[in-house]
Amino acid sequence: MLITPRWSWSHLRVLSDTLQIAVLPICVAGLLGLAGCSPTLNWRSVALGESSVTLPCKPDRGERIVVLGSSSVKMEMVGCEADGALFAISRVRLPEGFAPELMQAQWQSSTLQQMGAQPDVALTSRLGGTKSLPVKVIIVQGQRVDGRPLQANLAWVAVGSDLVHLAVYADRLTHEQTEPFFDGILSQ
């Protein structure tokens, strides 16, 4: 006995066309959703000295000897550019017997002088989640080397025997750029 299918090729073709029409928008929406999963700011944790810092992009690393006050110290830096902003973290080991407040004041003065800026606002931020460290975030308006305006949010914090400087520079900074960055330093 031969069983004949109830569906003919024309029925299957109509079903196939209907599925394509119904599934195509779902597939397109899924692909657009995947594109949305590639945010401009892709935050990640990066080790730096005794700290773990959060950056929104894959960082470059560097180091150099700098003079802060009367001391020459090795400065380690990590940073990257994303969403029109430069995110930078620098770390120095405090010289024996050197007060972190003094080095921070010298470092801050040098940074502001290079930008031709005065602090506009000092905000209090909490860094480090459950290991919260109070720190002032200084918001400044300055200039780039070529004279164009530059906005920066700057902070310094002592972590163990390190002094860490956090900075975000851009033409115009947003809350989405600065909040995760300044809230992302964790003591290890």
Q: What share of the chain has pLDDT > 90, as a percent? A: 25
End-to-end CA distance of the chain: 77
Whole-model pTM over 0.85 = no
Cβ–Cβ < 8 Å for 57, 82 = yes
Cβ–Cβ < 8 Å for 112, 104 = no
From 95, 79, 75, 61, select the one nearest 164 (Cα to Cα). Answer: 75
Residue 126's CB is within 10 A of a number of other CB atoms, namely: 11
**Candidates 3.40.1000.10, 3.30.70.1400, 1.20.1270.360, 3.30.750.24; correct CATH number of 44-187?**
3.40.1000.10
Q: Give the mean model confidence (pLDDT) for residues 104-129.
A: 75
Q: Which residue has the higher pLDDT, 108 or 24?
A: 108
User: What are the residue boundaries of the structural domains of the chain, listed by start?
Assistant: 8-38, 44-187
pLDDT score for 87: 95
The CA distances from residue 135 to 126, 129, 143, in Å, are 7, 13, 24
Q: Considering the chain, what is the average pLDDT of its residues? A: 75
Instruction: Return the SS3 of 5.
Output: coil
Say if residue 61's pLDDT is above 60. yes
> Which helix H or strand E contains 99, and what residues bound it?
none
